Amino acid sequence: EGSSGALKPRHDWSIRVQEFFANNSAMEFEPHRVYPSIPATLRRPIRVLSLFDGIATGYL
């Protein structure tokens, strides 16, 4: 039936694919969360490690 291994296609696979892309309810997500900003007096610096740190200077 068109399979070449352990996976076998469903008999209604083409209909299911069409329904997946036609159904807008599958595209419903919860809204993004908006977190309150931290006042400048309470902010702390963060360190960011880059994969490219030290390439320009030759130091690693």
> What's the pLDDT tens digit per position in 2-53?
666 788 888 999 998 888 777 666 567 788 899 999 999 999 988 887 777 6
Token output for 32: 């993004």
Which residues fall within 8 angstroms of residue 11, CB to CB, at 6 or more apart? none
pLDDT at residue number 60: 53
pLDDT at residue number 38: 92
Where do the structural domains in the chain lie, given as residue ranges? Answer: 1-59
pLDDT at residue number 32: 86
pLDDT at residue number 37: 94
pLDDT at residue number 46: 86
Q: CA–CA distance from 26 to each of 16, 19, 21, 22, 32 (Å)?
A: 13, 10, 8, 9, 17
